[in-house]
Amino acid sequence: MNLTLIVIVVIILTSIALNKLSSKMGVPVLLLFIILGIFLGWNDTRMMEQYQVVETTCSTALIFIIFYGGFGTKWSTARPVIRESAFLATFGVLVTAALTGLFCHFALKWGWIESMLMGSVVSSTDAASVFSILRSHKMGLKNNTAPMLEIESGSNDPCSYLLTVIMISLLKNEAVGFAIVWKIFAQLAFGLLLGALIAQGTVWLLRRVRLPEGFSSLFFVAVALLSYALPSMIGGNGYLSAYIVGIILGNTNLRDRKEMVSFFDGITSFTQILIFCLLGVMAIPGNLMKAIVPALLIFAFLTLIARPASIFAILAPFKRFEAPQMGFISFVGLRGAASIVFAIMTLNPDVPLANDIFSIVFCIVLISMSLQGSLIPSAAKAFNMIDSSVDVMKTFNDFSEAESVSFGVLNIKENDKWKGKVIKDLLLPKDVQITMILREGSKIVPRGNTEIKTGDKVVICSRAFSNDNDTNLIEHPVSNNSQWIGTAVKDYPYKGDSILVMIRRGDEHIIPNGNTVIQRGDILFILNGEL
Q: By the 8 A CB rule, do 146 and 140 touch?
A: yes
CA contacts within 13 A on the Cβ side of 39? 6
Question: How large is the C-alpha radius of gyration of the chain?
Answer: 28
- Sheet containing strand 499-505, edge to edge, reads 473-477, 523-527, 499-505, 508-510
Predicted TM-score (pTM) of the model is 0.72
State residue 530's pLDDT score: 44
SS3 of residue 441 by DSSP: coil
Q: Which helix (H) or strand (E) holds 21?
A: helix 2-25
What's the average model confidence in pLDDT over 68-72?
85
What's the average model confidence in pLDDT over 334-355?
87
Structure confidence at residue 429 as a pLDDT band (50, 70, 90) = confident
Structure confidence at residue 223 as a pLDDT band (50, 70, 90) = very high
Structure confidence at residue 404 as a pLDDT band (50, 70, 90) = low
DSSP string, 206-258: HTT-PPPTT-HHHHHHHHHHHHHHHHHHTT--HHHHHHHHHHHHHTS--TTHH
Minimum mean pLDDT among 138-152, 319-333, 338-352, 364-378: which range?
138-152
State residue 531's pLDDT score: 40
Give me the chain's average pLDDT, please: 81
Burial of 250-263, coded b for 16+ CB within 10 Å and e otherwise, reads bbeebebbeebbeb
Q: By the 8 A CB rule, do 372 and 332 touch?
A: yes
State residue 399's pLDDT score: 43
State residue 468's pLDDT score: 47
State residue 30's pLDDT score: 64
Q: By the 8 A CB rule, do 172 and 219 touch?
A: no
Closest listed residue to residue 421, CA positions, set 450, 393, 446, 399: 450
Strand partners, 461: 407, 433
Query: Which distant-in-sequence residues (6+ apart) come within 8 Å of 413 by Cβ?
Result: 419, 454
pLDDT digits (tens, 9 = 90+) for 262-277: 788 778 877 877 787 7
Predicted confidence (pLDDT) at residue 482 exceeds the cutoff of 70: yes
What's the average model confidence in pLDDT over 125-132?
74
Query: Which distant-in-sequence residues (6+ apart) come within 8 Å of 16 by Cβ?
Result: none
State residue 105's pLDDT score: 96
State residue 119's pLDDT score: 96
Local structure of residue 304 (DSSP, 8 states): I
C-alpha 11/C-alpha 9 separation (Å) is: 5
SS3 of residue 366 by DSSP: helix
State residue 43's pLDDT score: 54
Predicted confidence (pLDDT) at residue 457 exceeds the cutoff of 80: yes
Predicted confidence (pLDDT) at residue 173 exceeds the cutoff of 50: yes
DSSP string, 508-524: EEE---TTPBP-TT-EE
Strand partners, 488: 517
What's the average model confidence in pLDDT over 392-415?
64
State residue 303's pLDDT score: 94
C-alpha 278/C-alpha 40 separation (Å) is: 9
Predicted confidence (pLDDT) at residue 311 exceeds the cutoff of 80: yes
What Å distances lie between residue 514 and 39, 386, 489, 492, 511, CA to CA?
A: 59, 47, 5, 9, 10
Minimum mean pLDDT among 45-54, 55-64, 158-167, 227-236: which range?
45-54
Minimum mean pLDDT among 164-178, 315-329, 347-361: which range?
164-178
State residue 389's pLDDT score: 66
Strand partners, 442: 439
C-alpha 265/C-alpha 7 separation (Å) is: 22
Judged on CB neighbours under 10 Å (0-12, 13-18, 19+), 101 is buried
Minimum mean pLDDT among 52-56, 179-183, 437-441, 494-498: which range?
494-498
C-alpha 28/C-alpha 365 separation (Å) is: 12
Predicted confidence (pLDDT) at residue 401 exceeds the cutoff of 50: no
Length of the chain measured in residues: 531
Predicted confidence (pLDDT) at residue 20 exceeds the cutoff of 70: no
Q: What is the 3-state secondary structure (H, E, C) of 341-359?
A: HHHHHCCCCCCCCCCCHHH
Predicted confidence (pLDDT) at residue 438 exceeds the cutoff of 70: yes
